């Protein structure tokens, strides 16, 4: 009777099935993430064939422009009571004392100066030849922009935001403002960074119903770009997808994630908890570009008694690009060690992927036998006594 129970227990032990993916396909040998169709039909207002912005016409688009919340300094030497620091209001207008508001968002300092000067001359406050006026940007505000396409977290993002724990600093400089967190690269990083299927040469910005194309390939390669466009509130960014995975993009850069969080579970023997396995917060944060084998080592799934643990199984829970449907992939530690340089067998991890370790068949049988002994041992001993 005891042998029968033991045989049934072993045959029913938790062995990872051969097919686990939700597409009902055997991806046990080769795995490449597919890309969900992402075409202009999803964003009909986008002109994906827009001409690229070059250095020659960058001044007409990429120069710094005012946005709502920006602080500007207005100076009129002949009227000092009018001088001061002004903030562009929530609708993008500059509120002038004793005058109508002037729409400022989207304008350069030169354009806004010319517009305000024309208003005050037309109102009869000043005469054109004798009128000197200067407007300059002294602090850039946080702005909201939308980022779509081949990024990890598409949607509405806030960039150039002051951290909650950092007090607002007073404006000290007379003129000039600079923030590297209000340009195109900051928006892409805020949206999770470029996915491996992104087309870095086709990054679109839509402003005032016009679409402009920028090539940021050199930024991914670590080179300096002569110009990176500054954004204003309400800009929309679209990253075109290549439709296929490009492993050259799976590395840290200014436009890809520097690191990522991976969910790990190692709750079976040889250790009984994540804490005992040293699977803490630090081990679940991996550099972008880490492979499944890297995560297995970080989760303490590799090592131990060779004969007992070398055939342990690890599961990868991931998704295709642009898809919410989870898929599950199975590998043994032996397979990963033997094919560590093959990305089809040892795939790269993506942010928020999950891995789970299962013990080898030897360890499963040993633990089941131990459990059966603990269950029936007292009964047998009681019968003998």
d(CA 49, CA 221): 24
Same structural domain for residues 280 and 327? yes
Give domain status of residue 296, yes or no: yes
In this structure, the answer to whether residues 170 and 51 fall within a common structural domain is yes
Q: Is residue 380 part of a domain?
A: no
Domain end, chosen from 124, 139, 154, is at 139
pLDDT of 31 over the 80 cut:
yes
pLDDT of residue 165: 63
Distance (Å, whole) CA 358 – CA 332: 9
- The CATH number of the domain where 164 resides is what? 3.10.560.10
Question: Does any domain span residue 314?
Answer: yes
For the CA atoms of 304, 282, 331, 21, the dihedral, rounded to the nearest 10 degrees, stands at 150
Give pLDDT tens digits for 281-298. 556 789 999 999 999 888
Which segments within the chain are labelled E, that is strand? 71-75, 84-87, 93-94, 102-103, 134-139, 143-149, 155-159, 198-207, 210-214, 236-241, 259-261, 263-265, 285-287, 313-319, 326-332, 354-358
pLDDT level of residue 171 (50, 70, 90 thresholds) = low
| Same domain flag for 49 and 191 | yes
Does 207 lie in the same domain as 294?
Answer: no
Burial class from Cβ neighbours inside 10 Å (0-12, 13-18, 19+) for residue 378 reads exposed
Clarify whether residues 127 and 271 are in a common domain.
no
- Given 139, 165, 199, which residue is the final one in a domain? 139
Residue 255's pLDDT band, with cuts at 50, 70 and 90, is very high
pLDDT in tens, 297-311: 888 888 766 555 557
Structure tokens at 313: 């199984």
Contact 349, 260 (CB under 8 A): yes
Residue 4 lies in a domain: no
pLDDT at position 292 is 93
For range 228-245, the mean pLDDT: 91
Asked which of 103-117, 129-143, 370-384 is least confident by mean pLDDT, the reply is: 370-384
147 with 85, same domain?
Answer: no
Q: Is residue 252 assigned to a domain?
A: no
Q: What pLDDT sits at residue 193? A: 95
User: How far apart are alpha carbons 266 and 278 in whole angstroms?
Assistant: 10
Same domain, 287 and 332: yes
CATH number of the domain where residue 85 is located: 3.30.1950.10
Q: Is residue 1 part of a domain?
A: no
- Are both 230 and 355 inside the same structural domain? no
Model pTM above 0.95: no
Q: Name the domain count of the chain.
A: 3
Q: Are residues 168 and 22 in the same domain?
A: no
What's the pLDDT at 99? 83
User: Rounded to an integer, what distance in angstroms lies between the CA atom of residue 319 and that of residue 218?
Assistant: 28
Q: Are residues 274 and 159 part of one domain?
A: no
- Confidence check: pLDDT of 80 > 90: no
Query: What is the average pLDDT across 271-275?
Result: 51
Residue 378 belongs to some domain of the structure: no
Residues 261 and 353 in one domain: yes
pLDDT at position 360 is 54
Q: For residue 270, is the peptide bond before it cis, meaning its omega torsion is within 30 degrees of 0? A: yes
* Greater model confidence, 195 or 39: 195
Per-residue pLDDT of 315-354, as tens digits, reads 899 999 988 889 999 888 888 888 889 988 999 999 999 9
Percent of the chain scoring above 70 in pLDDT: 68
User: How many angstroms separate the first and last alpha carbons of the chain?
Assistant: 19
CA 14, chain centre distance (Å): 36
Closest CA relative to residue 238, chosen from 207, 206, 193: 206
Which residue among 192, 216, 243 closes a domain? Answer: 243
40 has pLDDT over 60: no
Average confidence score pLDDT of the chain: 78
pLDDT at 173: 57
pLDDT value at position 12? 42
Q: At what angle do helices 361-384 and 2-11 cross, to 10 degrees?
A: 160
| Together in a domain, 130 and 146 | no
Residues of the domain holding 91: 71-139
Q: Name residues whose C-beta falls within 8 Å of residue 254's C-beta, 6 or more positions apart in sequence.
A: 185, 189, 219, 220, 222
In a domain, 373, yes or no: no
pLDDT interval class at 82 (50, 70, 90): confident
The two counts, helices (H) then strands (E), for the chain are 8, 16
């Amino acid at each position: 009777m005891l042998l029968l129970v033991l045989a049934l227990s072993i045959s029913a032990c938790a062995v990872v099935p051969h097919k686990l993916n939700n597409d009902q396909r055997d991806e046990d040998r080769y795995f490449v993430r597919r890309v969900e169709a992402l075409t202009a039909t999803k964003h009909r207002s986008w002109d994906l064939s827009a001409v690229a912005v070059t250095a020659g016409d960058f001044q007409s688009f990429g120069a710094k422009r005012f946005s709502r919340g920006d602080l500007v300094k207005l100076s009129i030497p002949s009227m000092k009571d009018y001088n001061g620091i002004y903030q562009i209001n929530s609708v993008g207008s500059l509120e002038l004392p004793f005058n109508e508001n002037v729409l400022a968002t989207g304008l350069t300092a030169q354009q806004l100066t010319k517009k305000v000067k024309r208003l005050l001359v037309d109102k009869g406050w000043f005469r054109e030849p004798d009128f000197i006026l200067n407007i300059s940007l002294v602090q850039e505000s946080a702005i909201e922009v939308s980022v779509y396409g081949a990024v990890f977290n598409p949607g509405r993002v806030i960039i150039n935001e002051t951290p909650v724990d950092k007090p607002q600093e007073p404006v000290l400089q007379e003129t000039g403002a600079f923030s590297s967190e209000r340009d195109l690269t900051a928006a892409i990083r805020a949206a999770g960074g470029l996915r491996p299927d992104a087309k870095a040469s086709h990054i679109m910005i839509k402003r005032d119903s016009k679409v402009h194309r920028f090539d940021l390939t050199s930024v991914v390669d670590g080179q300096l770009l002569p110009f990176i466009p500054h954004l204003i509130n309400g800009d929309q960014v679209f990253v075109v997808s290549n439709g296929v995975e490009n492993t050259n993009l799976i590395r840290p850069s200014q436009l890809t994630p520097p690191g990522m969080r991976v969910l790990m579970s190692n709750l079976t023997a040889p250790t009984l908890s994540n804490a005992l396995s040293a699977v803490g917060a630090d081990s679940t944060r991996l550099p972008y570009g880490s492979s499944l084998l890297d995560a297995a080592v970080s989760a303490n799934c590799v090592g131990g008694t060779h004969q007992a643990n070398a055939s342990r199984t690890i599961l990868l829970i991931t998704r295709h690009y642009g898809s919410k449907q989870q898929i599950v992939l199975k590998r043994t530690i032996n397979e990963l060690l033997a094919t560590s340089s093959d990305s089809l067998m040892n795939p790269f991890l993506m942010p928020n992927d999950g891995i789970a370790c299962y013990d080898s068949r030897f360890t499963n049988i040993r633990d089941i036998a131990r459990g059966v002994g603990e269950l029936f041992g007292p009964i047998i001993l009681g019968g003998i006594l």
